[in-house]
Structure 1
């Protein structure tokens, strides 16, 4: 019988991870680092893109998008888990960008993210533009 997949550990201890109501607090297991790269924002995402990351990451990425001129270039090479909720974060970001006349491109992905993009056909939606746009680079084994 296969063993269950390991779950990522919270970034804070369960004793600290409580809000005033006593309900458990689930920390976001994804982080972003942003730098301006001309008219685009370059965003490196690390960690897990899942349901828990949705509300914090979506807010952060929307803020970065609103401050960019042309859009966002994502580096997802350090994302070690991405499920359908994570894909939805990316697709919603792309939709918002297009509504604002901007784009979202993915420059690098981990094998995990690449597999999800390939299975869903979404990789074509995030192709970079310009001289280095021949493909998305896969990082890792």
Structure 2
């Protein structure tokens, strides 16, 4: 049974596009934002075979709480046989993704269009 994405928050907007659930993060993604986003992210990633794109194109700040959200989403989607793609152009966030190694597991795309058009899942295994 396909469920509609959960309600939105001030830090997250959800929509369906070309068979993917797009989670568009907004503003400052810190511990407070992560606490608000986590239940919505869990709802969006609970279905078997979920196809999810996390779009960081509208963030202003992203700390380790945001990284935990990405790792959590990736684990939940892969455990359920789905795929997760990431959009990120924020220079400092890209650097953090590289330093932590997350960019190898979840290669960032420069745009939503690029992420949606990728031929292969961008959520590699550990």
Q: Same fold (TM over 0.5)?
A: yes
Answer with 1 or 2: which has the greater Rg.
1
**Aligned 8 A contact 2:13 2:23 in 1:** yes
Note the residue ranges of structure 1 that are not aligned, 5 or more in a row: 1-28, 137-141
Q: Counterpart of 2:73? A: 93
For 1:51-90, list aligned pairs within 5 A: 51-66=31-46, 69-90=49-70
1:47 to 2:49 alignment: no
Q: Shift in Å at residue 50 of structure 1?
A: 1.5
Q: 1:77 to 1:131 in 2, by over 3 A?
A: closer
CA offsets, 1:32-60, max 9 Å, x none? Answer: 11111233111211112211122210111
Q: 1:98 to 1:68 in 2, by over 3 A?
A: closer
What TM-score results when the alignment is normalised by the length of structure 1?
A: 0.64
Task: Report how many aligned residue pairs link the two structures.
Answer: 107
Higher RCO, 1 vs 2 (CA within 8 Å, ≥6 residues apart):
2
- RMSD over aligned Cα, in angstroms? 2.8
For 1:1-141, list aligned pairs within 5 A: 31-66=11-46, 69-127=49-107, 131-132=117-118
SS in 1 for 2:23: strand
Q: Counterpart of 1:26? A: none
SS in 2 for 1:109: coil
C-alpha distance in structure 2 between counterparts of 1:77 and 1:110, whole Å: 7
What TM-score results when the alignment is normalised by the length of structure 2?
A: 0.70
Q: Comparing both structures, which one devotes a greater share of its residues to helix?
A: 2
Note the residue ranges of structure 2 that are not aligned, 5 or more in a row: 1-8, 110-114
**Aligned 8 A contact 1:47 1:78 in 2:** yes
